[in-house]
Amino acid sequence: MHTFVYQRATSLADAVAVLKAKPDARPLAGGMTLLPTMKLGLAAPSDLIDLSAIGDLRGIRRNGDRVVIGAMTRHAEVAASAEVRAAIPALASLADGIGDAQVRNRGTLGGSVANSDPAADYPAAVLGLDANVLTDRRTIAADQFFLGMFATALDAGELIRAVEFRVPKRAGYAKFPNPASRYAMVGVLVADYGGSVRVAVTGAGACAFRVPTLEAALGKQFSAAAIEGIEVSASELNTDLHGSAEYRAHLVGVMARRAVAAALG
């Protein structure tokens, strides 16, 4: 691995200031993507700004119709949180299915969301649970956040502070994991807000996206049968060695029905 300057930021403002002063510096959250990328020589930041000592970035709290989760909260903490399990059990279950136990003990919500890996689980939750991404300088609605493969609305040096998820009436998440990596071949989060339903897909396209046809049908009748037979277009979906775009389009329907069944639990 290329060497770099390591710094532990003591506050969000401190981290933002260093990132502004040093264009080749990178923030270090859980490191579950960044460190392997650096080991492979695919990233060589001049500085790593470790965010782990910033206490304000940790923690989970309920705020009205929202569950607010700090950016540096680990996946295992979200999975085990009594607050999350009570308000949005689908979110706890999604977090409990990310990677493996060791990854869940290190990986963070903010790191995953900022990375916008096309096959990561959290983007489906952010988009499906109508979340707001709170940064050091503004609030970004989920619908405006994910722009493409590893691309988000975050500016250079902009850091996520927390994500606030809107508590649904009920929600479910189902994923078809790649058997080796456990990344989502396709993952679908379905959230019922009482008449209006959000369906967010990860793993299938360049980044997480919603499926209006499924949302409309589920808005009328929230059941797996209501979306039986609705075809999802394969035209913009991923083809790779794990599966074709057509296969992924088919999986979106299957996972959506399973997510609805999970929501109806």
Binding positions for other proteins, rule: CB under 8 A: 1-6, 28, 31-32, 35-36, 39, 48, 50, 52, 76, 80, 99-103, 105-106, 182
d(CA 168, CA 65): 8
Give backbone dihedrals phi and psi of 219, rounded to 5 degrees, phi first. -65, -35
Minimum CB–partner distance for residue 202 and other proteins (Å)? 19
> Measured from the CB of residue 160, what is the shortest distance to other proteins in angstroms?
19
Residue type, 31: G
Shortest distance in whole angstroms from residue 261 CB to other proteins:
19
Query: What is the smallest separation between the CB atom of 206 and other proteins, expressed in angstroms?
Result: 24
Which regions of 5-82 does DSSP assign to beta strands (E)? 5-8, 25-28, 47-50, 60-63, 66-70
Helix (H) or strand (E) holding 252: helix 245-264
Give the Cα separation of 189 and 183 in Å (integer): 15
Q: What is the spatial distance between Cα 130 and Cα 167, in angstroms, rounded to a whole number? A: 9
31 or 219, CB closer to other proteins?
Answer: 31
Q: How far is the CB of 3 from other proteins (least distance, A)?
A: 5
Which residue number, 177 or 253, has a Cβ lying nearer to other proteins? 177
Nearer to other proteins, 51 or 60 (CB): 51
Q: Smallest gap, in angstroms, from Cβ of residue 199 to other proteins?
A: 26
Q: Are 96 and 104 in contact, with CB atoms under 8 Å apart? A: yes
Nearest to 251 by CA among 265, 226, 263, 234: 234
Of residues 95 and 260, the one with the C-beta less far from other proteins: 95
Residue closer to other proteins by CB (options 4, 247) is 4
Contacts of 236 (CB under 8 A, 6+ apart): 205, 206
Closer of 172 and 177 to other proteins (Cβ): 177
